[in-house]
Structure 1
Amino acid sequence: MSMSLNLVIYKTKEDKLIEDDVRTVQFEELSPVLLKRLTDSFPLEELPVYFDENLEEHFEIECFNNSQIQEILDMLKKDFLELIKHEHDALVAGKTSKNEVQLVENDTINTSDDPLNKAVARFHILTGVIKLFEKKHLRLSDDVGAVIKLG
């Protein structure tokens, strides 16, 4: 079962998130294995989101701590380098490994048994997640209403 990460921008009032006019900036699927790796290293935090500007009723969302976005990016980029090495060894050098890189394995991806198609799918998933965190870090780091939440 796959999950998703959503980079969303909530309206804010007094630095509190408001559900009105929430906008999804980017959505990326990720495998349970990659989600576990992320959350083991960077536990999700629960933030209240208020239904309206009265700031009375709210619900909780699970999201990554905005202060850890750079650290998350650093980890994901190291994972990307490991994936490149693994795929090179498997596809170009013909080496097989019992320790297949599982970080981005996703059962919902419809690929053939072709190793190249699987490699492309793994790269696609991981680079999408990296781009989502980069967008938050580079373009929306000062926006209190911008969060990366689990979907």
Structure 2
Amino acid sequence: MNVKFKGNPVKIVGDEIKIGEFAPSVKLKGNDLGYVIVGGKKDKIQVLNVVPSLDTPVCAIQTKTFNQKAASLPNVEVFVISMDLPFAQGRFCSVEGIANLKALSDYRNKEFGKKYGVLIDDSPLSGLLTRAVFIIDTEGKIIYKEVCEEITKEPDYEAALNAIK
């Protein structure tokens, strides 16, 4: 997987998962400091919207876009996952009026980053998650995956949403 940050190659570590494979279950911290499990088999389709930090313009746009689109999708649960602390995620969601998705943090042990193969290992963003979107069907299989080639660019929203239909 070739990922770049401002045109410079970035090393991504973890287990690369592919479309058709089962999505690993991972426990992440929510804004209330409780745990939320993503991945695996669930009653709803899961959209895992992965960003380096909500405190950047592109990540904020990506999160707001998925928040807007989430309101009209039946049987879909949308998450934004970053390394931001739950307090910062809660503040961001409150200030930006984010109500249609759940913000989750992988700051504790970087388990999500490792299991989904999106943990940045070098560059100025080392230790954060690279920009990606995973969609998991109700059986727990990955039906869509996009790891953005350039971290500073938004994902293909329409392709992601079309994978749900």
**Shorter-chain TM-score range:** under 0.3
TM-score, with length taken from structure 2:
0.26
User: For the pair shown, which has the larger CA radius of gyration, 1 or 2?
Assistant: 1
The structure with the largest helix share of the pair is 1
TM-score, with length taken from structure 1:
0.27
